[in-house]
Amino acid sequence: MIISRFLRRGISTASTCATRRSWWDHVTPAPKDPIIAVTEAFLADPFPYKINLGVGAYRDDEGKPVVLQCVREAEGKIAASNFLESTSTAVSSKFVEESAKLIYGQDSNVIKERRFAGIPALSGTGACRLFAEFQKRFYPESRIYLPDPTWSNHRNIWRDVHVPDRTFRYYHPDSKSLNFVALMDDIKNAPDGSFFLLHPCAHNPTGVDPTNEQWREISSLFKAKNHFPFFDVAYQGFASGDVERDARAIRIFLEDGHSIGCAQSFAKNMGLYGHRVGCLSVLCNDKIQAMAIKGQLQQISNTMYGSPPIHGISLASKILSDPDIKAIWLKEVKVMATRIHRMRAILREALERLGSPLNWQHITNQVGMFCFSGLNRAEVYLLAKEFHIYMTPDGRISMAGVTTKNVDYLANSIHEVTTCDQDAKILHNTDAYRINTDIRFTSLGASKSRARGMNLSL
Amino acid sequence: MASSVLSLASAGPSASLSSNGIEKGKLNLGNCFKKEKTNLFLKTKSVGRISMVVASDVSRFEGITMAPPDPILGVSEAFKADNHELKLNLGVGAYRTEELQPYVLDVVKKADKLLLEKGENREYLPIEGLAAFNKVTAELLFGADNPVIKQQRVATVQGLSGTGSLRLAAALIERYFPGAKVLISSPTWGNHKNIFNDARVPWSEYRYYDPKTVGLDFEGMIADIKEAPEGSFILLHGCAHNPTGIDPTPEQWETIADVIQEKNHIPFFDIAYQGFASGSLDTDAASVRMFVARGMEVIAAQSYSKNLGLYAERIGAINVVCSSSDDAARVKSQLKRIARPMYSNPPVHGARIVASVVGDAALFKEWNAEMEMMAGRIMNVRQKLFDSLSSKDKSGKDWSFVLRQIGMFSFTGLNKAQCDNMTNKWHVYMTKDGRISLAGLSLAKCEYLADAIIDSYHNVS
């Protein structure tokens, strides 16, 4: 393949590029990342009342991104000396220790005995990637079991390190809740010693979490099967508003004596999205093994990017270790989670008030930033095309994008697309849909009047 | 994978053991029926790793050994442990002031303060990074008026400093040129081969350093590049070669470009010291710009670790100069696809600082001045070292290579035994390949260093 490419190329002189063949001819455009594509479509839409329910970044009730107070306080206290590589190590170590305490418990024996290998990582993605590389390196033949469904990037991560993935059943589309029996079955049927990825709370994208009792059963079965539990902790504090409560699944596994792995992200719960702050930890038998594993993890990150940027690590470290700032943080997490709970309740009420024949209980049953609405692809498409409401094609709604001002418009729109004429619903082709229904769907101005007609208050 | 398939309910002395259990020999069946689960875990530790009850007690990462220590880090650690008052750390890869203190650039402090005041949000950057940063970084490297920029033929993606940017390029090479080799200089920065190894890109070396002249083995370099299979990627240091400090002359660069074109290789620049080598951003970009001016497709990785002192913020970029804007768009999309499962999107802080400094005329001017100062200090130190060596060494050895070399590092030509002598007798810490970091040297210490070098060179073999 390489040879033929070069036969095409003559010896190039200092002539212009136009006469030369390109090295990159064979590079095709990459498919768009589904989550990011939603935001791009949203940004490109000129409709003034558009709603972005795509990416999982928190918004306040004005629909604005938030920089937490605790972050501003922490920032004020960080000196410029953080830029120096000499202080980086100390700051990183402190950060790792505090992160571990947060997830494993302040008084956890794991921490006291230093029985964990931890390194800072580039948010949740980076932590998962480091672990996937580590898994590949030391268990080259292994697979990763991912819940069905899961965050779309999980598959990309393990695929890029050449670890094949399998799914285990998780979400029950009919009940829109956990398919616990099938879940346990799949765990049991997986070969002993398999690697599993688990969402300990606020499952992404479904918002469906096991109960504590169910977690205990899962943990026992894991013990019996000697499976390796890897937790992707992206929403500690966001699910219930309480960081301790949201760590329950992990504490249960710890009590049962599992040596787990944990990817923590501070993107959402500290609003540090763009700073890429996360932590990867792997529990070990003892301090010595922890050091060996840490060294291996550092080597893996050294060839990928060196180390994560110090600014975000300093902020998170300060927030977790300064009692006053931490107190502010815990309150703010509660505020964010509470707002989301409220939006869930309001959305559900609105749909029920509209007389929707469908069951919308799952909106309040589900937990965390996302609601797996149950909307199908055609409905999602219509919501974007006609109502300028954007979400991922699987019907995942980021509740963080819902506000008191847009919730009615959202409810009305969902109601419209789910209760339209059955024939019209079958038509996935919007042109045909337009022909068969109102002309008013076709213009921006018309959409505006629709919005007004829906009592959209703005 | 050995596993004990037991549950608490059915545990009993007759239950089967995992092979791990037998290996360790010690059993503690008394643990089986303890109610407190946390204690079980602890108990197990103290009597050996066997427990009949908790199957996952034996860590599955048992066999993992310590990774080999990083050679460069090891130098700093040994230095710290040394109590001698005249000790000198020439292993450090970061700029130090004359007082041998770490240095945060004034422009960075200013930009940081501005950012704090602006109070911008912390939202995710796009996968390709901060648009403002990507624009200024490409302009900085290629020149704002460069046709390749005007024609949108450069795919620029923000990366995590030089390392992260190199890794993105390596992944692109692995994916689109499977089996193609990267040629790296002998010697080169230690992490280059690790990056290509982990990206599963094969590599080999081209001759570079000539110990006889303590200079460039130009013939060897050209021969090795010529000999490489067509379509290889040739990794070149844009300026201030690390670790030798030896750069090709402008004429030599032209010859290198000739050979690369002749053999249909692709030039792959690692530019970690733009502005830091000569003090001038434009001068230090001359090699890259010359290749680009010839119409060649070029890969170029940038880092702001040294020239803006932003080591810890991990800010850099990967640029792929293509033949058409369409190529550039597609290449960029694939770079993004590689980045997404690595870290989703790059960090915002360092990008904003660079965009701030480069985008503001006053700050940019200040930056240039600070860079001239830093580069100037290094050149002064080189001069003083050369002067000290020449005046103290009566053997007539030519030490002028110290002046010809450029940038933070210098290859002294000392062998391993001589380097050991430097450390053991003179408490001068350096890497075993004979590399010293001029950034860690002050004018005040030049004479002492000269003594050490002369002694090691002449009295140790």
For residue A160, the distance in angstroms to the closest alpha carbon of chain B comes to 7
Cβ–Cβ below 8 Å for A88 and B312: yes
Q: Is A302 helix (H, G, I), strand (E, B) or coil?
A: helix
Cβ–Cβ below 8 Å for A22 and B109: no
Residues 6+ apart with CB under 8 A from B339: B127, B128, B157, B159, B168, B345, B346
Q: Determine the Cα–Cα distance for residues B216 and B248; give it in Å rounded to an integer.
A: 7
Per-residue pLDDT at A27 exceeds 70: yes
Q: b or e along B61-98 (b: 16 or more beta carbons within 10 Å of the residue's beta carbon)?
A: beebeebeebebeebbeebeeeeeeebbbbbbbbbbee
For residue B216, the distance in angstroms to the closest alpha carbon of chain A comes to 26
| C-alpha torsion angle, residues A85, B134, A266, A310 (rounded to 10) | 10
Give the nearest chain A residue to B41 (CA atoms): A257
User: Amino acid letter at B30?
Assistant: G
Q: Which of B109, B123, B296 sits opposite A80 (nearest CB)?
A: B109
Cβ–Cβ below 8 Å for B49 and A285: yes
Nearest to A26 by CA among A4, A48, A52, A55: A4
Q: Which of A6, A30, A306 sits opposite B264 (nearest CB)?
A: A6
Q: Residue A69: what are its φ and ψ, rounded to 5°?
A: -60, -40
**B200: chain A residues, CB-CB within 8 Å:** none
Per-residue pLDDT at A423 exceeds 90: no
Residues 6+ apart with CB under 8 A from A234: A124, A151, A199, A202, A204, A263, A265, A267, A268
**A20: chain B residues, CB-CB within 8 Å:** 295, 323
Side-chain half-sphere CA neighbours of A105 within 13 A: 14
Nearest to B168 by CA among B199, B139, B137, B134: B199
pLDDT score, position B7: 33
- Walk along chain B (461 residues) and give the pLDDT tens digit of each residue: 333 333 333 333 333 333 333 333 333 333 333 333 333 333 333 333 333 333 444 567 777 777 777 777 778 888 889 999 999 999 988 899 999 998 999 999 999 999 989 989 999 999 999 999 999 999 999 999 999 999 999 999 999 999 999 999 999 999 999 999 999 999 999 999 999 999 999 999 999 999 999 999 999 999 999 999 999 999 999 999 999 999 999 999 999 999 999 999 999 999 999 999 999 999 999 999 999 999 999 999 999 999 999 999 999 999 999 999 999 999 999 999 999 999 999 999 999 999 999 999 999 999 999 999 999 999 999 999 999 999 999 999 999 999 999 999 999 999 999 999 999 999 999 998 999 999 999 999 999 999 999 999 999 98
Q: Which of A22, A159, A274 sits opposite B327 (nearest CB)?
A: A22
Q: Determine the Cα–Cα distance for residues A82 and A91; give it in Å rounded to an integer.
A: 8
What's the mean per-residue pLDDT of chain A? 87
B108 neighbors B310 (Cβ within 8 angstroms)? yes
pLDDT score, position B54: 38
Q: Determine the Cα–Cα distance for residues A54 and A384; give it in Å rounded to an integer.
A: 11
Q: Determine the Cα–Cα distance for residues A382 and A447; give it in Å rounded to an integer.
A: 13
Band of residue A79 on the pLDDT scale cut at 50, 70, 90: low
**A125: chain B residues, CB-CB within 8 Å:** 340-344
Cis peptide before A65 (omega within 30 of 0): no
Q: Determine the Cα–Cα distance for residues B160 and B224; give it in Å rounded to an integer.
A: 31
Substitution target in B194, B326, B342 with the highest count of A β-carbons within 10 Å is B342
**B6: chain A residues, CB-CB within 8 Å:** 224
Cβ–Cβ below 8 Å for B320 and A289: no
Look at A351 and B24; give whichever has higher pLDDT.
A351
**B189: chain A residues, CB-CB within 8 Å:** none
pLDDT score, position A184: 98
Distance of CA B308 to the CA centre of its chain: 15
A58 neighbors B123 (Cβ within 8 angstroms)? no
pLDDT score, position B62: 72
Residues 6+ apart with CB under 8 A from A19: none
Per-residue pLDDT at A455 exceeds 80: no
Per-residue pLDDT at A402 exceeds 90: yes
Band of residue A439 on the pLDDT scale cut at 50, 70, 90: very low
pLDDT score, position B48: 38
State how beta strands A278-283 and A116-121 pair: antiparallel
Q: Determine the Cα–Cα distance for residues B457 and A38; give it in Å rounded to an integer.
A: 65
For residue A338, the distance in angstroms to the closest alpha carbon of chain B comes to 21
Per-residue pLDDT at A218 exceeds 80: yes
Cβ–Cβ below 8 Å for A273 and B342: no
Residue-by-residue DSSP string for B26-78? ---GGGGG-S-HHHHHHHHHHTBS--SS-GGGS-TTTTPPPPPPPHHHHHHHH
A261 neighbors A283 (Cβ within 8 angstroms)? yes
Q: Determine the Cα–Cα distance for residues A431 and B299; give it in Å rounded to an integer.
A: 45
Give the nearest chain A residue to B42 (CA atoms): A109
Nearest to A225 by CA among B14, B376, B5, B132: B5
Residues 6+ apart with CB under 8 A from B126: A36, B345
Q: Which of A57, A123, A226 sits opposite B55 (nearest CB)?
A: A226
Q: Which of A11, A83, A289 sits opposite B261 (nearest CB)?
A: A11
Cβ–Cβ below 8 Å for B323 and A138: no
In chain A, where the domains are located:
34-66+338-424, 69-328
For residue B19, the distance in angstroms to the closest alpha carbon of chain A comes to 14
Per-residue pLDDT at A422 exceeds 60: no
Band of residue A68 on the pLDDT scale cut at 50, 70, 90: very high
pLDDT score, position B136: 98
CATH topology of domain A69-328: Aspartate Aminotransferase; domain 2 (3.40.640)
Cβ–Cβ below 8 Å for A84 and B45: no
CB pairs under 8 A between A and B: 301
B263 neighbors B255 (Cβ within 8 angstroms)? no
Cis peptide before B267 (omega within 30 of 0): no
User: Amino acid letter at A456?
Assistant: L
Residue pointed to by tokens 């075993």:
B432
Write down the pTM of the prediction: 0.87
**A369: chain B residues, CB-CB within 8 Å:** none
Give the nearest chain B residue to A127 (CA atoms): B343
Per-residue pLDDT at A427 exceeds 50: no
pLDDT score, position B92: 80
Which of A72-86, A130-144, A149-163 shows the lowest per-residue confidence on average (mean pLDDT)?
A72-86
Q: Which of B125, B163, B177 sits opposite A2 (nearest CB)?
A: B177
For residue A324, the distance in angstroms to the closest alpha carbon of chain B comes to 21
Cβ–Cβ below 8 Å for A24 and B330: yes
In chain B, where the domains are located:
72-103+366-459, 124-359
User: Amino acid letter at A415?
Assistant: H
Catalytic machinery residues of B: 189, 270, 306
Residue pointed to by tokens 């990867």:
A280
CATH code of B124-359, in short, is: 3.40.640.10
How large is the ipTM? 0.87
Q: Which of A6, A257, A259 sits opposite B230 (nearest CB)?
A: A6
**A157: chain B residues, CB-CB within 8 Å:** 341
A228 neighbors A193 (Cβ within 8 angstroms)? yes
Look at B59 and A158; give whichever has higher pLDDT.
A158
For residue B417, the distance in angstroms to the closest alpha carbon of chain A comes to 28
Question: Any idea which architecture A34-66+338-424 has in CATH?
Answer: Alpha-Beta Complex (3.90)
B93 neighbors B276 (Cβ within 8 angstroms)? no
E strand segments, B187-281: 203-207, 209-210, 215-216, 233-237, 266-271
Cβ–Cβ below 8 Å for A308 and B41: no
DSSP letter, residue B408: S
Cβ–Cβ below 8 Å for B67 and A21: no
Q: Which of B49, B63, B331 sits opposite A27 (nearest CB)?
A: B331
Catalytic machinery residues of A: 151, 232, 268
pLDDT score, position A20: 52
pLDDT score, position B31: 35
Cβ–Cβ below 8 Å for A24 and B345: no
pLDDT score, position A88: 80
Q: Which CATH superfamily is domain B72-103+366-459 in?
A: Aspartate Aminotransferase, domain 1 (3.90.1150.10)
Enter the tokens of residue B417: 């035994």
A369 neighbors A398 (Cβ within 8 angstroms)? yes
Band of residue A33 on the pLDDT scale cut at 50, 70, 90: confident
Average pLDDT over residues A320-348: 97
pLDDT score, position B323: 95
**A137: chain B residues, CB-CB within 8 Å:** none
**A21: chain B residues, CB-CB within 8 Å:** 323
For residue B358, the distance in angstroms to the closest alpha carbon of chain A comes to 18
pLDDT tens string A240-291: 999 999 999 999 999 999 999 999 999 999 999 999 999 999 999 899 999 9
Percent above pLDDT 90 for chain A: 77
**B180: chain A residues, CB-CB within 8 Å:** 2
Q: Determine the Cα–Cα distance for residues A373 and A379; give it in Å rounded to an integer.
A: 11
Q: Determine the Cα–Cα distance for residues B180 and B252; give it in Å rounded to an integer.
A: 25
